[in-house]
C-alpha cells in the first residue's frame, strides 16, 4: 500500500460498503457524517489538492478547533498525499514560531484571528485556496515523505518533532481495532484533543479501519457526561486518567449505559490504582489501561480485553512490538527489577526531525535498534509492564532514588485530592528532596488536609521517602490531555497560590 493511497483507498472503500452507516458525529451539537458523506467530502478535497501539477502545498499545519472539521480535513490532506502538522488550536501565540520551525507552506484553521508569522494562513470557511502556494523547502523523497509531523508531549523536557508515515499510522490503528475488537457495531466516544496522536490513531483512524463510528467533542465536559454517551449509544470510551478521576467522583451512569460500555480506555499517563478502583466501583464500567507514545504512533502496550487478564497498576502487555527493561549497563533486567524501558518494531519511529530551515533528521534509536522511551518501570514474571515514572523525574535524595509516582499515587488515593504532582527541589545537604503539590475538592480545609497527607506519607513511605514539603495549591499545571507538566510546574511553582502547607523537619 503506497503512502497517499492508504487513507484515500480506505475512505473510498468504506463509502462504498458502509455508505449509510454513521462514521463521525459531533457529540454536543449533534452534527453527523455517514461514510458516504465522508467519502464525498474527502474525495472533493483530494481532487483540489492533487492536481496535475505538484500539490499547492506540500506541508500544511492544521490548527482546527471544531472536531468534525478537523477529522474531515485531516483525512482529506492524508488522502491527497500532503504532510500534515497538527497544531494545538488553543496555542495561537506559539503558531508563528512552530510554523517556521516546521517549514510549513500553509496553515489551515477555523480560528477567527490566527497568525503564523510569514506562513500563509487560510480559514476553512473560505474553502480551499486554488492558487499555488510556494513551498518553503525541496520536496521530501516520495518513499520517505511523512504523513504527519507530531510533537511529543514535552511534559518533562523539550518536545521532539516526530515524523510518521501513513503506513505506520494505519498499521497501529489496525492493531488497536483488532485488540479492542472494534467493528461496524461499535461506537466510540473521544473528548481528547485531536492534534494528539492518541485521538488521531486510537480514535479516528482505528474507527475508520474497523468501519465503526466515532463521536468526537472539542473537550471533556463533566456536566451530563453519561447522558450524552447514552444518547449516542456509545460502546467504549477513549479517556485519560484526569477524566477518569473526575468521573470517579461524579454521579454514576444509569445501569443501561454502564452495561452498554465495554470499557473505558485509559492512556497518556499512568493511572493511579486508587483512581482505577474508585472509577470502576462508582460507575460499573471496566477500565482498560494502556501505554503509548508518539514515537510508536500511539499504542505500545495494553491490558488484555478480557477482564480476567487485566492487572490494576499495570499498563499491560506489548502489542505488535518488542519491549524490554534494561539496567544502566544496557543489560535486560530480571522480573521485578526497575530499569529503562526500550521498544523496537517496524512502526517505531527511526528518526526525529530537527526543527529549523535545514530540516535534518536525527536518529531516534540506539546502535542496537532500540528506542529509549525515557520511561522507567519493570516487568513482572508474565511480561506485564509497570511504569514507575520518567527517567527525567527521578529525584536523587542523598543517594536514594525517589520516583514521584510512588508519592503521587499515595496522595491521589485520598478522596479529597483532585490532582497531585511531585518534583525535586535543590537541597544543600541531600542534593535534592521531593516537594509535593496537590489540589483539593470543594469544602476541604487546606491546612488540615496538608497535615493529614504529610502524616500519611510518613507512615506509608517512611521519613527518607516522604515529601520534605507538601503544599495545597489552587492549580497544578497540566497539558491538553490532563497530564501533569512537571517542567511547567518547576517554572510556575513560585506563582501558585499556597492554600495550606505542611513541612517535615530534616532527618537527624
Per DSSP bridges, beta strands 298-302 and 317-318 are antiparallel
What is the Cα–Cα distance from 290 to 275, expressed in whole angstroms? Answer: 15
Give the H/E segment covering residue 236: strand 236-239
pLDDT at site 382: 97
Cβ within 8 Å of residue 347, ≥6 positions away: 167, 168, 171, 172, 296, 297, 320, 321
Report pTM. Answer: 0.89
pLDDT at site 470: 95
Per DSSP bridges, beta strands 298-302 and 263-266 are unpaired
For residue 406, count other CB atoms closer than 10 A to its CB.
15
| Domain 3-379: CATH superfamily, name plus number | ANL, N-terminal domain (3.40.50.12780)
For residue 377, count other CB atoms closer than 10 A to its CB.
23
pLDDT at site 157: 52
Q: Which CATH architecture has domain 394-503?
A: 2-Layer Sandwich (3.30)
For residue 29, count other CB atoms closer than 10 A to its CB.
11
pLDDT at site 132: 65
Using DSSP, state whether 323 is helix, strand or coil. strand
Domain ranges of the chain: 3-379, 394-503
Cα dihedral 490/495/500/506 (nearest 10): 40
For 42-146, strand residue ranges (E) read 59-63, 83-86, 106-109, 121-123
48 and 11 Cβ atoms separated by less than 8 Å? no
385 and 340 Cβ atoms separated by less than 8 Å? no
Max Cα distance, the chain (Å)? 77
DSSP-derived letter for residue 125 is: G
Residue 188 vs residues 45, 315, 335: alpha-carbon distances, Å: 26, 21, 35
DSSP-derived letter for residue 337 is: -
pLDDT at site 373: 96
pLDDT at site 156: 46
Query: Bridge-partner residues for 361, per DSSP?
Result: 353
- Retrieve residue 122's grid coordinates: 487560510
pLDDT at site 4: 41
pLDDT at site 508: 41
What is the Cα–Cα distance from 24 to 336, expressed in whole angstroms? Answer: 43
CA R_g for the chain: 23
Helices H / strands E in the chain, number of each: 14, 27
Judged on CB neighbours under 10 Å (0-12, 13-18, 19+), 101 is middle
pLDDT at site 36: 97
What is the Cα–Cα distance from 322 to 96, expressed in whole angstroms? Answer: 38
For the chain (length 508 residues), average pLDDT per consecutive 10? 67 94 95 97 81 61 94 93 90 68 87 76 79 69 80 63 95 97 97 95 97 96 96 97 93 97 94 94 98 96 96 97 96 96 96 81 93 96 95 87 91 92 87 92 92 94 88 89 84 84 69
pLDDT at site 16: 95
Amino acid at each position: 500500500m503506497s503512502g497517499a493511497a492508504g487513507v484515500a483507498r480506505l475512505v473510498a472503500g468504506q463509502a462504498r460498503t458502509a455508505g449509510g452507516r454513521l462514521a463521525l458525529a459531533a457529540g454536543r451539537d449533534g452534527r453527523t457524517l455517514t461514510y458516504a458523506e465522508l467519502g464525498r467530502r474527502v474525495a472533493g478535497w483530494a481532487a483540489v489538492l492533487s492536481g496535475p501539477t505538484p500539490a499547492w502545498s506540500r506541508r500544511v499545519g492544521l490548527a482546527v478547533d471544531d472536531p468534525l472539521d478537523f477529522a474531515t480535513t485531516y483525512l482529506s490532506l492524508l488522502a491527497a498525499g500532503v504532510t500534515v502538522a497538527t497544531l494545538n488550536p488553543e496555542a495561537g501565540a506559539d503558531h508563528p514560531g512552530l510554523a517556521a520551525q516546521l517549514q510549513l507552506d500553509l496553515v489551515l484553521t477555523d480560528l477567527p484571528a490566527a497568525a503564523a508569522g510569514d506562513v500563509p494562513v487560510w480559514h476553512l470557511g473560505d474553502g480551499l485556496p486554488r492558487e499555488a502556494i510556494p513551498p518553503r523547502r525541496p520536496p521530501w523523497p516520495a518513499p520517505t515523505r511523512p504523513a504527519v509531523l507530531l510533537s511529543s508531549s514535552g511534559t518533562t523536557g523539550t518536545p521532539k518533532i516526530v515524523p510518521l508515515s501513513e503506513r505506520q499510522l494505519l498499521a497501529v490503528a489496525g492493531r488497536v481495532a483488532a485488540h479492542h475488537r472494534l467493528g461496524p457495531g461499535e461506537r466510540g466516544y473521544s473528548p481528547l484533543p485531536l492534534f494528539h496522536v492518541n485521538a488521531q490513531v486510537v480514535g479516528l483512524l482505528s474507527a475508520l479501519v474497523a468501519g465503526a463510528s466515532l463521536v468526537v467533542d472539542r473537550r471533556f465536559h463533566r456536566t451530563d457526561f453519561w447522558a450524552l454517551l447514552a444518547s449516542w449509544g456509545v460502546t467504549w470510551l477513549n479517556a485519560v486518567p484526569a477524566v477518569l478521576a473526575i468521573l470517579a467522583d461524579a454521579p454514576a451512569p444509569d445501569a443501561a449505559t454502564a452495561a452498554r460500555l465495554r470499557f473505558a480506555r485509559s492512556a497518556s499517563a499512568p493511572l493511579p490504582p486508587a483512581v482505577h478502583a474508585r472509577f470502576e466501583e462508582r460507575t460499573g464500567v471496566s477500565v482498560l489501561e494502556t501505554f503509548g507514545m508518539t514515537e510508536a504512533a500511539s499504542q505500545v502496550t495494553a491490558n488484555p480485553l478480557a477482564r480476567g487478564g487485566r492487572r490494576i497498576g499495570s499498563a499491560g502487555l506489548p502489542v505488535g512490538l518488542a519491549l524490554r527493561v534494561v539496567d544502566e549497563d544496557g543489560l535486560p533486567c530480571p522480573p521485578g527489577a526497575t530499569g529503562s524501558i526500550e521498544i523496537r518494531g517496524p512502526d517505531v519511529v527511526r528518526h526525529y526531525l530537527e526543527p529549523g530551515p535545514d530540516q535534518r533528521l536525527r536518529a531516534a534509536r540506539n546502535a542496537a535498534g532500540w528506542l529509549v522511551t525515557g520511561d522507567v518501570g519493570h516487568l513482572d514474571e508474565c511480561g506485564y509492564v509497570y511504569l514507575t515514572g520518567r527517567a527525567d523525574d527521578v529525584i536523587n535524595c542523598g543517594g536514594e532514588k525517589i520516583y514521584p509516582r510512588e508519592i503521587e499515587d499515595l496522595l491521589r488515593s485520598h478522596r479529597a485530592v483532585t490532582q497531585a504532582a511531585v518534583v525535586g527541589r535543590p537541597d544543600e545537604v541531600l542534593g535534592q528532596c521531593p516537594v509535593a503539590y496537590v489540589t483539593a475538592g470543594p469544602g476541604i480545609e487546606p491546612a488540615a488536609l496538608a497535615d493529614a497527607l504529610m502524616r500519611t506519607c510518613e507512615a506509608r513511605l517512611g521519613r527518607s521517602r516522604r515529601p520534605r514539603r507538601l503544599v495545597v495549591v489552587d492549580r497544578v499545571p497540566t497539558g491538553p490531555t490532563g497530564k501533569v507538566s512537571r517542567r511547567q510546574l518547576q517554572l510556575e511553582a513560585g506563582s501558585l497560590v499556597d492554600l495550606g502547607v505542611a513541612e517535615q523537619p530534616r532527618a537527624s
